[in-house]
Structure 1
Amino acid sequence: MNNENDDLIKCEIREITKQDKEFYENNGYLVLDNILPNKEQVEKLLKRAKDCFNNGFDKGIVPDEVSWRPGLSLDDKTREMVNSWKTDSLMAQLILNQDIGKLACDLLDCNSVLIAQDDIFWKPVNDYPYFECMSKKVLTVWIALTDVSKENGTVEFIEGSHKWNDLPPIDNNNNNNSESYSNNEFHAPVDYLKGLEGAIKYNGFKSIDELTIHPVTVKAGGCSIHHGKLWHGSNSNPSSFKERVSVAIHFAPGDSVFSDTVKPCFSFGRYKIYGSNKLEESFYPITFSKTSYKSPIIIDAVKK
């Protein structure tokens, strides 16, 4: 008789060494090969990730955000889906995996981690580029479901940029003529380096040529991990035949709460409970803790 867990997505993550942690702390990222060793499961995840964009998820719940619609959007447009763990059991098995959670917990050096958000990125040939940074309280595990390299627009990191000075708040009304340090045109920017160039200037660099840019190269099933403040992104996919599909899982410490002073963006604010700053586990599940606790919703989320 097969065990009910036999078909669950399985990860094999090697022990994170002192040298790994030092590299991560100094450079802001770490690359691990083959954390998904079962190639059949990788292919299964790749197919399901694509199916999700065609309403092929099995929970009957609409994703929080989808940037591409079949029959309505251009085929060469970058496709992104937010929080597929809520919509599909197979994607949930990957995103809510406790071994990936432990990896994040070890590098964040905290007692537990929760899922802040996940993203499926489907980068077709000849698509659009971007560059951005996020938050110092976030760590991202970026898992490749296809082979990735500079050849097909892989993610690239600005080494050490997580140590840069925090940027000033953006004045969206431009009342004080402040310079914008972020790229609001994420999916099809006119100038994808706009935000990065502002950050470079703010941190005393004269040009991008002074920076060390690391393009991630891994086979399908490998991953990279990067600090939330690390400037990262990807250029357009120059390949005429080699698409890139990946899943990004954004982790935060399990005791994170909404800010008292900063209003959450729409993606997060829709799940803020009135009168409370708590990140409700039904929407921000804890996938790993040093006490072995996991959010109860995970049990049902990974079931078909």
Structure 2
Amino acid sequence: MLWNAISANYRKRRIQTCIDTLHRPNHHYHASSSSFLVERRWQNFQHDSKQKHALFDPNKMQQCRNLTTSTTRMNMTKMEEEAMLISRDIYQRGYAKSKGRILSKDRCLAIRNRMPLIFRGIFDTGVYPDEWHWREGISFPHATREICNAWKSDRTVASVVLDESMGKLVADITGWESVRVAQDDLVWKVPYDGARRQEEVKVEEKNVNTVVGFHQDSAYISKQFSPYENNSLTVWISLDDADEESGCVEYAVGSHKWRPLLHFSGSNSSFLDGDDNSSESNYIPNEHQTDDEGSLLSSFHSSTSNTYRDGLLPAAVSAGVYDSTAITDAATSPVTIEAAPVKEGYALFHHQDTWHGSGPNRSEMRHRRALVVHYLQGDVIFREKCNDKGEASSLSSPSPSSPWGPTTYIYGRYKKFGSQEVDEDFFPIVYARDEAECRKKRTAWLDSFIGQH
């Protein structure tokens, strides 16, 4: 049984103490914490004692970035210093903000100008994106708009997603030897136009179609690949100034440390629809599990301003950090939910297991647009068929998405039959270190593809 060594009550107290510690005003970070070279203080709370629970492999971090001496730190570039600070914050809190701009004003403007064209189906590469949610004249005008893997359709987007310096930043944060793209997302929350329509509604009911339910990116990214632990990092680049009024991202602080393999669904989940009787399911999203509109995204964006955090509840209860049902009551909830306002051109970085979501865009004038990139460790392979706990199983065991294994339709279409290879034509490697032990190289065609822009 999981966590046999400690009682449930002790576990609740201990995890809550750890989360509380993260929020002490004068909390002192260990020097080694700044580069993820941290002792595993959470060993008693591992989902599997055989798995490493450090967020990213300390040995690789040491090999790739020797940041522990003052001499080395003096020689670091500004970007490497930024990566070190981001690493520290992700380890401690599950997410981090960039200290400086990631994209210039001109590049943000260029992408914003392309977005209306992309959502109309004007693709300068002639290639459709993998997912296209929101069609002009068909979809509700105020629903959240999203396109997945726009880099395949638009070279302006590709010039950011496939940028080598972006890949290097991710490698410096994680310690990976190589970095590949899993998926990008163009996300667009339009402003509320109640004033123009002369509607009188309550504040909490404004633009509820633009909420994003709380979820973990690992549920639909990381879980499809092996090794699973710490194999992805999300970079959320703001194309507008985003704040609470316009529906900025919110994070459950420290939730990446609850349990690495928690992927819940249920009747109250605003992320994925599932079995109402399942209190602890490791759900793998796939094309056979959809809601009334036939799309995972429709459940992803189907919450209201009062329920978009509900998907967090079963995970918090199981982790022992919460034993009530008032998860949205900030005054009584021991789960700290933080809004993360971010300026245009700046970015948020979060761990694959960090629970996050966002409220509606209640602004009457401001759009909230973002380019989100999910990066993968370069040497991952597709996971073999697995059981409902994400564990490898034999071909004779039940599999949630046979014959392609635990992949969603967006990934399964690119999985080669009988092979676990992750094809660079669809998941390109954007950065690889020069060290001899790094077997990967930056995908050869990327520069010419971007150069055609």
Compare CA radii of gyration and give the structure with the larger one. Answer: 2
Pick the aligned partner of 1:87 from 150, 153, 162: 153
**Greater CA drift, 189-198 or 107-116:** 189-198
SS at match of 1:283: coil
Name the CA distance, whole Å, in 2 between partners of 1:193 and 1:68: 23
- Post-superposition offset of 1:265: 0.8
Name the CA distance, whole Å, in 1 between partners of 2:354 and 2:263: 16
Identity of aligned residues (%): 33
Query: Structure 1 residues 180 and 128 mapped into 2: Cα distance closer, same or farther (>3 Å)?
Result: farther
Pick the aligned partner of 1:177 from 277, 285, 292: 277
Deviations 1:241-297 (A, max 9, x none): 211000110011000111012421111001001111011000000101112831123
More helix by share: 2
Deviations 1:116-152 (A, max 9, x none): 0000000112233121112242210000001111120
Query: Structure 1 residues 243 and 278 mapped into 2: Cα distance closer, same or farther (>3 Å)?
Result: same
SS at match of 1:143: strand
| Structure with higher RCO (Cα < 8 A, 6+ apart) | 1
More strand by share: 1
Pick the aligned partner of 1:139 from 233, 246, 250: 233
Pick the aligned partner of 1:195 from 301, 311, 316: 311
Name the CA distance, whole Å, in 2 between partners of 1:212 and 1:285: 36
Name the CA distance, whole Å, in 2 between partners of 1:168 and 1:234: 18
Partner of 1:155: 249
Partner of 1:229: 353
**Greater CA drift, 30-39 or 68-77:** 30-39
Partner of 1:280: 423
1:285 and 1:297 in contact (8 A); partners too: no
1:154 and 1:215 in contact (8 A); partners too: yes
1:13 and 1:99 in contact (8 A); partners too: no
- Please report the TM-score for the alignment, with normalisation by the length of structure 2: 0.60
Could you tell me which amino acid in structure 2 is paired with residue 272 of structure 1? K
SS at match of 1:198: helix
Is residue 61 from structure 1 mapped to residue 61 from structure 2 by the alignment? no
Pick the aligned partner of 2:442 from 288, 294, 298: 294
Is residue 242 from structure 1 mapped to residue 366 from structure 2 by the alignment? yes
- Post-superposition offset of 1:101: 0.9
Name the CA distance, whole Å, in 1 between partners of 2:303 and 2:86: 34
Counting only pairs closer than 5 Å after superposition, residues 35-50 of structure 1 correspond to structure 2 as 35-36=101-102, 38-50=104-116
Query: Structure 1 residues 30 and 231 mapped into 2: Cα distance closer, same or farther (>3 Å)?
Result: same
- Post-superposition offset of 1:17: 5.5
SS at match of 1:202: helix
Could you tell me which amino acid in structure 2 is paired with residue 64 of structure 1? D
1:128 and 1:187 in contact (8 A); partners too: yes
- Post-superposition offset of 1:195: 1.7
Name the CA distance, whole Å, in 2 between partners of 1:68 and 1:297: 31
Name the CA distance, whole Å, in 1 between partners of 2:351 and 2:164: 19
After superposition, the CA RMSD in angstroms is 2.3
Query: Structure 1 residues 55 and 268 mapped into 2: Cα distance closer, same or farther (>3 Å)?
Result: same
- Post-superposition offset of 1:19: 4.2
Tell me the matched-pair count.
Answer: 292
- Post-superposition offset of 1:112: 0.6
Could you tell me which amino acid in structure 2 is paired with residue 177 of structure 1? N
SS at match of 1:151: coil
Could you tell me which amino acid in structure 2 is paired with residue 144 of structure 1? S
- Post-superposition offset of 1:214: 2.1
SS at match of 1:150: coil
2:84 and 2:172 in contact (8 A); partners too: no
Partner of 2:380: 256
2:86 and 2:98 in contact (8 A); partners too: no
Partner of 1:266: 409
1:13 and 1:35 in contact (8 A); partners too: no
Partner of 1:9: none
**Greater CA drift, 130-139 or 113-122:** 130-139
